Amino acid sequence: HTSLRTGEHIKFWSRRTMATLLERNGFCVAGFLGAGRAAYLWKSMVIAADRIAAWCRLIN
């Protein structure tokens, strides 16, 4: 199941789904942090992203 189609509702975000949506809209993912509970069962996550294309090319 994916929520990447137009109009789909996302109740639970995965790191991959969030990164894909950000990249499709011109962002470059710079960092990721999961928080709460055990690893990979995080209650929350923080993703840092930037729209500056030149900076994105330097880290990728």
Which pLDDT belongs to residue 36? Answer: 85
Which pLDDT belongs to residue 53? Answer: 66
Question: Strands, DSSP E only, in the chain?
Answer: 28-35, 44-50
What pTM does this model have? Answer: 0.66
Mean pLDDT on 30-43:
86
Q: What are the structural domain ranges in the chain? A: 15-59
- Cα(12)–Cα(26) distance, rounded to whole angstroms? 22
For residue 54, pLDDT beyond 70: no
Half-sphere exposure of 5 (CA within 13 A, CB side): 3
Which pLDDT belongs to residue 52? Answer: 72
Which pLDDT belongs to residue 47? Answer: 92
Q: Confidence band (pLDDT; 50, 70, 90) for 33?
A: very high
